[in-house]
Amino acid sequence: MSDGDAARALPGDRFAGLGTEFGGLTRSLLGATTIGGVLRELVTTAARVIPAASLVSITLRGPDGLFYTPVETDPIATELDQVQYRAGEGPCVDAARPDGPAHAESQDLAREAKWPQFGPAAARHGVGSLLAIALLPDARPPQVSGALNVYAHDAGALTEADREVALLLATHGSLALANTRAVTAAELQNAQLRKAIDSRDVIGQAKGILMQRRGITADEAFDILRRTSQELNVKLTVLAETLATRHVDLDLPEPLA
C-alpha cells in the first residue's frame, strides 16, 4: 500500500498530523547508519502516532531461527514478547516468520483461540489487544525477518486506522533497514542493545527477590512489579533496580488471588 492509499484509508482528522510525522521519520530513518538506530526510531514513532499503543517492541528472527527483542518502549513489552518466543505462538512470532502473514493481530487476547498459551498470559499481564506487522518481508538467508509489535491495554483498542499507520511505519522501516546494507547476523548481534539486556537482567533479579520473600510464582512477581510501576508512575526498570540493588522493603501490593 502506498502512502497515498493509506492516507485515503484513514479518517481526515486522524491523518492530518501524520504527514509531518512521516516526513520526519523518513529523514531520520534514511539518515540512520545502524540497525539499532532504525529500530529505535520505529518504536518511538509508533508509540507517538498510534493513540492506543501502550507498549511497542520489535521482534527479530535470526538466521538460526531464534527470536529476540532488541528494542522496546518498556521492558514489559520484552517480557510479553518472550512469552511468545517460549510458547512458539502469538502475533509477533507469526508476523516475524519469513513465510508469515503481512500482519497478525488479536482484538481480545483473553479469548483468543489461535494462541491458547500466549493469549491468557498476555491478559494476565494487563494487555487486551496486539497488532504485529511484518518487517523485512522479502528477507532471504542469511538475512533476518521481523515484526513491529503494538500492544494495547484494552481489548478492541486497536483500530483499522491504527493498522494502516503501523503498515506504513513497517514499510518505511523495512526500506531503511535494507538501506543500511547491514542486515546480517553479525550486525544484528551488535544491535542487541545493552540497555535492553541489562533491563531484563535487573527485572529478573527483582522477580527473584519477590519470589523468595513472598513464596510466589514468577508470573505473580512480575505482575506485582508491573502494577506497582503503573500505580507509582515509575518505569519498571527503575522500580526493579531499586528493589534488586538496595534490597529495600517497598510497599508492594500482594498478588491477586
255 within a domain of the structure (yes/no) = no
User: Residue 257 falls within a domain, yes or no?
Assistant: no
Cell numbers 516468520 correspond to 97
Whole-structure pTM value: 0.66
Q: Which domain holds residue 184?
A: 3-191
Residues 181 and 63 in one domain: yes
Look at residue 72 and tell me whether its pLDDT is greater than 60.
yes
Question: Residue 28 sits in a domain of what CATH number?
Answer: 3.30.450.80
What average pLDDT score do residues 94-105 get?
92
Q: What is the mean pLDDT of residues 232-247?
A: 71
* 150-169 pLDDT tens trace: 999 999 999 999 999 999 88
Query: Do 218 and 233 have their domain in common?
Result: yes
119 and 103 housed in the same domain:
yes
Domain shared by 182 and 202, yes or no: no
Residue 57 clears pLDDT 90, i.e. is over it:
yes
Give yes or no: residues 181 and 204 share one domain.
no
Domain count for the chain, please give it. 2
**CB 130 within 8 Å of CB 91:** yes
Q: What is the mean pLDDT of residues 68-91?
A: 91
Q: Are residues 51 and 172 in the same domain?
A: yes
Shared-domain flag, residues 112 and 230: no
Q: State which of 123-127, 154-158, 204-208, 232-236 shows the largest mean pLDDT.
A: 154-158
Residue range 135-154, pLDDT digits in tens = 876 655 556 789 999 999 99
Task: Say if residue 214 is in the same domain as residue 240.
Answer: yes
The full 3-state SS of 5-37, as one line of letters, equals HHHHHCCHHHHCCHHHHHHHHHHHHHHCCCHHH
> Which DSSP helix (H) or strand (E) runs through 194?
helix 194-214
Judgement on whether residues 118 and 234 belong to the same structural domain of the protein: no
Same domain, 54 and 38: yes
The percent of residues above 90 in pLDDT, for the chain, comes to 32
Same domain, 63 and 182: yes
The answer to whether residue 21 scores a pLDDT higher than 70 is: no
